[in-house]
Structure formats: structure tokens, C-alpha cells
Amino acid sequence: MSSQDIPEENLPAEQDHAHGAVAVADEVHPFADPGLPPHEHRIQDIDERAARRSERMVALLFTVSMLATVGFIVSYVTIPHDKNIFVFPIGRISALNFALGLTLGVALFCIGAGAVHWARTLMSDVEVADDRHAIAATPEVRAKVHADFREGAKESALGRRKLIRNTMFGALALVPLSGVMLLRDLGPLPGTSLRHTLWAKGKRLVNMNTNQPLRPEDIAVGSLTFAKPDGLEETDEEFQNEMAKAALMIVRLQPDNIKDKRELDWSHEGVVAFSKICTHVGCPISLYEQQTHHVLCPCHQSTFDLSDGARVIFGPAGHALPQLRIGVDSEGYLQALGDFEEPVGPAFWERG
């Protein structure tokens, strides 16, 4: 396009005479505000063909949107919901999700792009100034409101009849208590429930994976075994609540490697059982380093030394993992010799 094709009267030089006369800074105010700069014309403002190109572009975008919506409906009807396709570089993904998402995305995006292009190229882009008004009221309004309030307050006699005022405040202060009371049955009181688990004297240690009672010889040096108390089944109503406290991890150490005296006493032939629930905020600890006998909680990286009473050697946990005292019963199965002696899991105010 060359400028000769544009009608004379549309050229910027011809138009801008009328537009905001620019203030010239004088000697006293070299930084004076020159006022709004003159409006700069876009090609669409001066050349009708450019404007028509913009119009076609906007219409094209809206049309693409319509087609994409049709595509969405077609995809919904024709693509089976369990079909997977390979899309580079994402990999194997659900074909239906891919098609629906892209068609919906295009349908929406093109409406937006069309509207913005329309606004930017065809709608007036002349900047105009609007006045602001102070947010605060004028002194007269302020005085009027204050006077009205005083009058209303006086008519209520609230300030004069103190008995009404005080009893009203009392009643309003008390009435929400009913709402607070109603929250009481959100849950039972803790009592000592955080101190007890399902473990008790004579409870067998059952392998979490095989669901079979464990014998000491099942536990090899270097392995990490998870156990639950005998009798607790996945289908039990309280399974999740009980597992949240009773989950156990079992490792076998060389008895000579056990540095902590009590740990050795509570072990059986080097087999030691510790609570699996981290004493930090309750994640199940599941990373075992067999060479160092360290276990690491994958959530917040608290690290415990299983050969030294499971004391904390790194990370945010505040105290050692509780140990379960174990032995074998007459049939040679590992059994608990009692419950944990201290609460398992995260510390709490009443823990002591």
C-alpha cells in the first residue's frame, strides 16, 4: 500500500490541527505538564482497506471459533472415552481429553482474540481524560450526616437509658454462644485415644503385604518390612484410624550394631520394630538406608538412626520414633509384648 492511495483528508497531518494544543513549558516551569499528546492514527483510521482487512480478520477468528465448537461436539460424540493416542512430545494421552480441550480452547481463544483485535484496530483509540472527585464527602455533607446521626441517636435514647444499652450489649454478646455450643459435637474429646494403639501383649505382627504373621527368620538383614497388628483387616470400619497409629516398620540389625541399650532389650535377635508414623507431622516413614540403618521420611526429610533408638539425626522431627517391644510366641511368631510406651505420631500439647 502506498500513501498516494489514501485520501488527503485522512492523512494525519491534515487531522491533527484540531487535536489538543501542546502546552509549551515556560521559563519558570521547565517541567510543566505539556498535556495529552496528540492522537496518533492507526493505519485503520486512515485507510479504509486496512480497516476492511481488520474486519475480515475479526470475522475469520469468530468463524474459526464456531468451527472449533462444532469440532468439540463431533469429538464428544465420535471419540471413545477410553482411546489413547500418542502425541509428540507429551506421550500417550487420552484422545478425547486432547480433542475436547483443544477444540474448546480454540473456540474460546478465537472469540477473545477476535474481540481484542476488533477493539485494538477498529474501535476508537482516542485517549480521553475523566475527572476524579475526592472520595471523602464535602464538609457540608459531612456536617449533615453527623447531625443526622446525632439526632437519630438522641431519639433512640440509647445514650440516656443506660440500662437498655447495657442489657442489649449483653444479650448480643451472649447469643452467639449458642452457635459455639452447637459445634461441640463436631467430634469427641481426645481423652487418651492418642496414647493407645491396637498393639497389646500377645498381638502378632502381620506382614502388610502378604497378610501372614511374621517369624523372625522372615526378616533378612537389610530389608524393611511393614507390619500391622493381627486381626486388623482392610475392610474394618476403623482400619484407617487404627493404621494411622499402629503402622509398624521392622528391620533386622546385627545385635552388636545396636547402640542403644533399651533398643537392644526390646528387640528380638536383632529384629527391631518401630512406629512407622513420623514424629514430625505424621507421614509414614518409608525410605531405609540399609548400610547406615537410617530411615528417612519422604515428606519432610526427618532422618532417624534405627541403630540408636531411632533418634533424630536430621530434619524437623522433634523426638525419636517410638519402639514396640517384641518377642516370639510359643509358635515362633513375632508378637508385641505390650502397646507403645509413648504416643506415636506427631507431638501434641498433652503428650508430655
How many whole angstroms separate alpha carbon 303 and alpha carbon 300? 9
Residue 24 binds to other proteins (criterion: CB under 8 A): yes
Contacts of 268 (CB under 8 A, 6+ apart): 216, 326, 327, 328, 334
Beta carbon nearer to other proteins, 125 or 308: 125
- Pick the binder of other proteins from 1, 7, 16, 25 (CB under 8 A): 25
Half-sphere exposure of residue 315: CA atoms within 13 angstroms, side-chain side: 23
Rule CB under 8 A: choose which of 15, 69, 286, 290 binds other proteins.
286
| Residue (of 96, 94, 101) closest to 75 by Cα position | 96
CB of 48 to other proteins, least distance (A): 19
Nearer residue to other proteins within complex by CB, 204 or 245: 245
Residue 11 or 102 with smaller CB distance to other proteins: 102
Binder to other proteins among 11, 43, 51, 102 (CB under 8 A)? 102
Q: In the set 138, 193, 210, 292, which binds other proteins (CB under 8 A)?
A: 193
Single residue of 66, 67, 126, 168 touching other proteins by CB under 8 A: 126
Instruction: Give the C-alpha distances (Å, rounded to integers) separating 289 from 13, 16, 282, 293.
Output: 80, 79, 20, 6
Shortest distance in whole angstroms from residue 165 CB to other proteins? 29
Q: 302 and 312 in contact (C-beta within 8 Å)?
A: yes
Q: Does residue 128 bind other proteins (CB under 8 A)?
A: yes
| Residue among 59 and 168 whose Cβ is closer to other proteins | 59
Name which of 271, 236, 239 is nearest 253 in CA terms.
Answer: 271
65 or 258: CB nearest other proteins: 65
Beta strand 224-229 with 205-207 is antiparallel
CB of 291 to other proteins, least distance (A): 16
Using rule CB under 8 A, residue 270 touches other proteins:
no
Q: Which residues pair with 224 in a beta bridge?
A: 251
Stretch that binds other proteins, among 47-55, 152-160, 212-220, 297-305 (CB under 8 A): 297-305
Using CB under 8 A, which of the segments 39-47, 153-161, 198-206, 227-235 binds other proteins? 227-235
C-alpha cell at 291: 548400610
- x/- mask, other proteins, residues 138-177, rule CB under 8 A, reads ----------------------------------------
The residue range among 11-19, 28-36, 142-150, 332-340 that interacts with other proteins, by the rule CB under 8 A, is 28-36
Cβ neighbour number for residue 69 with a 10 Å cutoff: 17
Nearest residue to 254 via CA among 293, 287, 214: 293
| 203 near other proteins (CB under 8 A) | no
Contact window for other proteins (CB under 8 A) among 40-48, 156-164, 165-173, 182-190: 182-190
Sign of the CA dihedral 253, 255, 256, 261? positive
Residue selected from 66, 116, 153, 157 as contacting other proteins according to rule CB under 8 A: 116
Instruction: Tell me the C-alpha distance between 62 and 60, whole Å.
Output: 5
**Nine cell digits for residue 296:** 528417612
Residue ranges of E strands in 190-341: 205-207, 224-229, 248-252, 271-275, 287-289, 294-296, 303-305, 311-314, 323-324, 326-328, 334-336
Among 10, 63, 97, 292, binds other proteins (CB under 8 A): 97
Using the minimum distance from each CB to other proteins, give the nearer residue, 233 or 256.
Answer: 233
**Identity of the residue, 312 or 326, whose beta carbon is nearer to other proteins in the bound complex:** 312
Burial track 233-250 (b if 16+ CB lie within 10 A, e otherwise) = eeeeeeeeebbebbbbbb
